[in-house]
Chain A
Amino acid sequence: MSAHKRPISPLYVMLAFGYAFLYAPIVLLVFYSFNESRLVTVWAGFSTKWYGELFRNEQILNAAWLSLRIAVVNATFATILGTLAGFVIARYKRFPTRTAFLGLMSAPLVMPEVVMGLSLLLLFVALETAIGWPAGRGAVTVTIAHITFCLAFVAVIVQAKLASFDRSLEEAAMDLGARPWKVFCVITLPLIAPALAAGWLLSFTLSFDDLIVTSFTSGPGASTLPMVIYSSVRLGVSPQINALATIMISVVALFVAVSGWLLYRQDKAKRA
């Protein structure tokens, strides 16, 4: 019989298996990015040469820079629009066409990406023939497309935050004579700031990572990082992409570790 009071239940074995399944491929990818050999599966010694090649690869660097710019602009606009939308959903329980508004805000969350990509491209082409704008497709059309699906995610996050929100502070400010717009800026906005930050980050990630909608709405000369990764990966496994993946994973891991540590400290300070 086991010496433990409680034997390890099969449930925890399943849990461990689940996490192993989620993380093993990522760990392997990182591991093999330091492989000397071009063949991903043969270990030929430690090397950082693929990182060197990656940093000399203009195409990838340009694409990363473009993706970064699109992601920042997208996240900012999506956060502004999504916050307005989340605010309306949480605070205005009856106004004409509210049902349509709710439908519009939630449909992008579940719409298959191929559908959104194709339909946006058709819109851009139709607009171009009708009014001459947008002239061709590129970073602008990609950004518009990204804002369209990201703003709905921000709206959900902001609305959830507002639903669990103590309104007495707002009421106090109103009683003291603050105008609604001022109440929103001085009281509401700072209180929901964590939701805005989460929405911004989520929008950034969704945009930086998007392949399908981007491929439909982008044009010649505007290849984003996922598009370059995709066209290289289609031809098979590439050590440079392993190195790139490792960098991307490290940035996310670092970010999560830092924000986790900050939250932990904040939590501790609150309790003290």
Chain B
Amino acid sequence: MSQPRAKLPPLASLTPYLWLLLFFAAPLGIVLKISVASPVMGQPPYTPLYEAGQWLINWDNYRLLFDDGLYIAALLNSLKIAAISTFVTLLIGYPMAYAIARAKESHRSILMMLVILPFWTSFLIRVYAWMSILSTTGLLNNFLLWLGVIDQPLEILYTTFAIHLGIVYSYLPFMVLPLVATLSRMDLTLLEAAADLGAKPWQGFLRVTLPLSLPGILAGCLLVFIPATGEFVIPDLLGGPEALMIGKVMWTEFFSNRDWPVASALTVALLILLVGPMIALQSLRKREAAADAKAATP
């Protein structure tokens, strides 16, 4: 039989394509459309885009985003909280990943599994677990009181600190996994060469290991930063009423204020903010996959 021609995918594979066009791409288009509609009473609670031969485009929702300080503050605050949390996650995750990558081969898979395991248990439950630790009558406060470090309970739950803690805790596995991948792929003879040339261990780390693990650092940071920016559960359960994060504002705008056009405009703003990081993550993944494929073929 002759070599099959460069062929088209079988027809059946069109189904996932169509599925995502209908249930992923089209909805984003609808968000865009409703973000320039006007809110009305009724079902659906927004005006059509095109009616009686004319386009009805209403930029007021976007104008509101800029004029009302609340939305800008929420956007900026989300970025700030996500950035700080991502950095702290990196500080905790890097040494962990380093230790795992340098552990004995036989131990490595169980260490990795222990990192992934919490991910299989409910996210909501893990965030909830912190509520009973951080509350004023919680374990942490009781412990500190018992130690005598403080003489009255601290407000830890319902603060920005608690949000940071929740994000670091929930997303730590996302940081560790790509770091382990790049660190364990590293050629250790490079470090020996550096040592032979007189580099001290910390110099070897700073000038060899760290630069070589940059793709892992970047991937890990993006994997934490992107979902953390749009996070809703963590600021809602652990943050205070003044915890302004964009995901929470969107939720309130939608469910409490029932202003769908403004919620849609906020969604578009969030997407615009995150599209850069999302594309960066994709191209990084592609490069990593190519590197893996290259390493796999002798």
Question: Which A residues are closer than 8 A to B by beta carbons?
Answer: 11-12, 14-15, 17-19, 21-23, 25-26, 28-29, 32, 39-41, 81-82, 84-85, 87-88, 91-92, 94-95, 101, 103-108, 110-116, 118-120, 122-123, 125-126, 129, 144-145, 147-148, 151-152, 155, 160, 163-164, 174-175, 177, 180-181, 205, 208-209, 211-212, 216, 226, 229-230, 233-234, 236-237, 241-242, 245, 248-249, 252-253, 256, 260
Contacts and interface: CB of A to CB of B under 8 A. Distances in A.
Given A110-B282, A119-B30, A205-B120, 13 more contacts: A14-B92, A84-B15, A105-B20, A110-B278, A114-B232, A115-B31, A115-B267, A123-B30, A125-B44, A212-B232, A242-B132, A245-B125, A256-B117
Contacts of B7: 92
A161 to B, nearest CB: 12
Given A84-B13, A114-B251, A148-B23, A25 B126 contact: yes
Interface in B217-256: 226-227, 229-230, 232-233, 236-237, 247, 250-251, 254
B20 A22 contact: no
A175 B99 contact: no
**In this complex, which of A17, A82, A233 has the most chain B Cβ atoms within 10 angstroms of its Cβ?**
A233
Interface string B25-38: 11110110010000
Given A112-B274, A118-B250, A175-B1, A41 B122 contact: no
Contact of A107 (B169, B230, B278, B289): B278
29 contacts: A12-B99, A21-B169, A22-B169, A26-B126, A32-B132, A40-B138, A41-B132, A94-B6, A104-B25, A106-B282, A108-B24, A112-B274, A114-B267, A118-B254, A122-B264, A144-B23, A145-B23, A151-B20, A160-B289, A163-B293, A226-B122, A229-B122, A234-B236, A234-B237, A245-B122, A245-B125, A248-B121, A252-B117, A260-B113
